[in-house]
Amino acid sequence: MKVLLVNPPSLESSLLADVSVPRLPWSLAYLAGVLEQGGHDVQILDLYPIHDPQEVKQRILGCKSSLVGITATTPYIHSAYHLARMFKTSHPETIIVLGGWHPSALPERTLEECPSIDIIVRGEGEMTLLELCNSIDSHGMDTSTLSRILGLTFKSKEGGIESTPARPLIQDLDTLPFPAVHLLPMDEYPEDMSNLGAVFSKDDKFSLLITSRGCPFNCLFCADGLMYRQTTRYRSIENVIEEIKFMKKHYGINFFGIIDPDFLQKPERVYLFCRTLIKEHIKIKWGCQARVDTIPPGLLRLMKATGCYRIYYGVESGSPRILKKINKRIKLSQAHKVIQMTKEAGILVIINMMLGLPGEREEDIVASWKLIKDLSPDNVYLNLTKPLPGSELFDRYFQALPESEKKRITWSDFYFTVEYVESRDFSFRNLPLEKIRHFQRLIMIDYYFSISFLKKVLLDLKSFRHFKFYVRAFLAMLYAILTRG
């Protein structure tokens, strides 16, 4: 069966895209690997690097497949709808399938909002999509056959919507083939994309790496539990190392961004990972995400010795009251200790902070501002809280809405791009939106235009192309600050 997997276009301008890590469609690469292994003819159409709407249209018109699978998170759902309509208009016989976080959280509503979509694949998609393609290959769009495939939501013959039971999670991740990187348009990604981790070398080639799926925690704002059900499954370190060696040998990749929600959740596993890299003389650069409460002393220096260049910590708030309210289950003392340890190990620190959290008052935002100054990270992401479908926060927010408003939700209000200036005042926020945006602007100015940050940038300059990157980043950040009023 001929299958086309599609990643929607970027919502960012070319200016911001130049200084942002591309959303490499790793979920599609995993799906493609499984489908290829199952004997299907697969292509990936990654529209993320394409900023010209006419070029997007031309690429769609040039693609003809039996089935088109589109991935979508909530910020990209309108873009996915647009693509589905374009494919259906140009190729009416094509079966349109949508997967990802948003349609998994709201499958019935998704089908209602976009009639061009035929089927929703809910949750972890590899085995569901493979069974779906096999079934359509043999029986076409026979709904009685579709109803036996776990993890689907589709339109029934009677005109209603039918959902099959949820599919169990894949327990042995080592059974999955490596992502089908050969199907990605690696030559279309920005030349400097590997530089965005503050390692500015012309010869670096970047790739993502997933060593586990899921997280046992249940933060109020996070939708990961929808897909992974508060459990974590791990690939064996042997399997992970084999993928690294494969990527190095076949694609020259030496720079890996590990995107597990918490790579350091099992420290003994990270020790094994690092010792295996040393034992097998594998030289790479890598970064990861982690919580501040799962790192033992001594591990960070070993990580640095094996090429770890940065760690992204989700701190979220400088207010203990708010941390408790969002079920973060960390202490600020842990953040101070671990971030100091990370700096002493020579690893760059990036932290995520959120404004507009439920119940947040001015003094809580001031506490977050102070924490940023005290921690002095190498970079900080300062996001406005959005109630993403699949999270507990969305469930609370949605249930509290009057029935008349539930159907009028505009998903564009859930964008996360720096350039998007939010206009929706979500009801769970304690402070008015203008006040929150004002604080966001002040904190961004205080951080990015501080003497300490500018000095850090100047000392870090390694080349002219490095300098050009920072100029573009400065212009993008200046635009973001000015648009917040």
Chain mean position to CA 377: 21
Give the CATH number, domain containing residue 26. Answer: 3.40.50.280
* CA 443 – CA 437 distance, rounded (Å): 10
Report yes or no on 186 lying in a domain: no
Domain contains 181 = no
Whole-number pLDDT of residue 39: 97
Q: Given the structure tokens 């208009």, which residue do they identify? A: 89
Whether residue 198 sits in one domain with residue 122:
no
* 463: DSSP letter: S
185 within some domain: no
pTM listed for this prediction: 0.93
Which CATH number does the domain housing residue 301 bear?
A: 3.80.30.20
Residue 68: in which H helix or E strand, if any? strand 67-71
**275 shares a domain with 238:** yes
The answer to whether residue 253 sits within a structural domain is: yes
Taking residue 343's Cβ as centre, other Cβ atoms within 10 Å add up to 16
Per-residue pLDDT at 469: 73
289 shares its domain with 411 = yes
Q: What are the C-alpha distances in Å from 415 to residues 101, 105, 385, 411?
A: 14, 17, 11, 8
Residues 143 and 18 in one domain: yes
Answer yes or no: do 144 and 224 share one domain. Answer: no
Give the sign of the dihedral formed by CA 315, CA 319, CA 324, CA 326. negative
Is residue 159 located within the same domain as residue 195? no
Distance, in Å, from the CA atom of 326 to the CA atom of 393, rounded to the nearest integer, reads: 9
Nearest to 463, CA basis, from 75, 162, 201:
201
- The reply to whether 388 and 470 lie within a common domain is yes
The tally of domains found in the chain comes to 2
Q: Where are the beta strands (DSSP E) in 360-423?
A: 379-384
Q: Do 375 and 348 form a contact (C-beta atoms < 8 A)?
A: no
370 and 426 fall within a common domain: yes
Angle at Cα 297 formed by Cα 293 and Cα 302, nearest 5°?
115
| Residue 450 CA, distance from chain mean position | 29
Distance CA 459, CA 202 (A): 19
Phi, psi of 328 (to 5 degrees): -75, -35
Structure confidence at residue 412 (pLDDT): 83
| pLDDT at residue 197 in the model | 43
Q: Are 465 and 5 in contact (CB under 8 A)?
A: no
Q: Does residue 228 share a domain with residue 343?
A: yes
Q: Write down the pLDDT at residue 423.
A: 62
For residue 77, with 0-12 CB atoms within 10 Å meaning exposed, 13-18 middle and 19 or more buried, which class applies? buried
Task: Answer whether residue 442 is part of any domain.
Answer: yes
Do 440 and 384 contact (CB within 8 A), yes or no?
yes
pLDDT attached to residue 357: 96
| Domain limits for position 96 | 2-163
462 and 419 in a common domain? yes
Nearest residue to 116 (alpha-carbon basis) of 76, 147, 83: 83
Same domain membership, residue 365 and residue 275: yes
Q: Contact at 8 Å (CB) between 415 and 11?
A: yes
Burial class (CB in 10 A: 0-12, 13-18, 19+), 314: buried
Q: Which helix (H) or strand (E) segment is 11 a member of?
A: none
Per-residue pLDDT of the chain in tens (485 residues, 90 and over written 9): 999 999 998 876 555 555 555 578 999 999 999 999 999 999 999 998 887 889 988 988 888 899 999 999 999 999 999 999 999 999 999 999 999 999 999 999 999 999 999 999 999 999 999 999 999 999 999 999 999 999 999 998 888 999 999 999 999 999 999 999 999 988 777 655 544 444 556 677 888 999 999 999 999 999 999 999 999 999 999 999 999 999 999 999 999 999 999 999 999 999 999 999 999 999 999 999 999 998 988 899 999 999 999 999 999 999 999 999 999 999 999 999 999 999 999 999 999 999 999 999 999 999 999 999 999 999 999 999 999 999 999 999 998 888 888 888 889 888 765 555 566 778 889 999 999 999 999 999 999 999 988 888 888 777 776 777 777 777 777 777 776 55
State the CB neighbour count (10 A cutoff) for residue 202.
11
- pLDDT value, residue 51: 79
Residue 240 forms part of a structural domain: yes
Q: What is the pLDDT of residue 420?
A: 52
> What is the per-residue pLDDT for 48?
87
Residue 252, judged by CB atoms within 10 A of its CB (0-12, 13-18, 19+), counts as exposed
**For tokens 């939700």, what's the residue?**
409
Domain boundary among 143, 163, 183: 163
pLDDT reported for residue 351: 97
Q: Determine, yes or no, domain membership for 178.
A: no
Question: Taking CA 268 as the corner, what is the angle to CA 265 and CA 271, rounded to the nearest 5 degrees?
Answer: 110
Tokens found for residue 276:
């295996």
Structure-block tokens of residue 388:
């993403």
* Residues 319, 400 within the same domain: yes
Listed residue (473, 441, 440, 470) closest to 16, CA to CA: 473
Boundary of a domain, candidates 119, 148, 163: 163
Q: How far apart are CA 218 and CA 221, in angstroms?
A: 8
Residue pair 258/286 in contact by the 8 Å Cβ criterion: yes
DSSP 165: P
The pLDDT, as a whole number, for residue 474 is 78
Whole-number pLDDT of residue 485: 54
Rg of the chain over Cα atoms, rounded to whole angstroms, equals 22
Classify residue 473: in a domain, yes or no. Answer: yes
Tokens of residue 479, six digits: 């635009």
372 with 198: CB under 8 angstroms? no
Strand order of the sheet with strand 308-316?
206-209, 255-258, 285-290, 308-316, 348-355, 379-384
Domain boundary among 117, 147, 163: 163
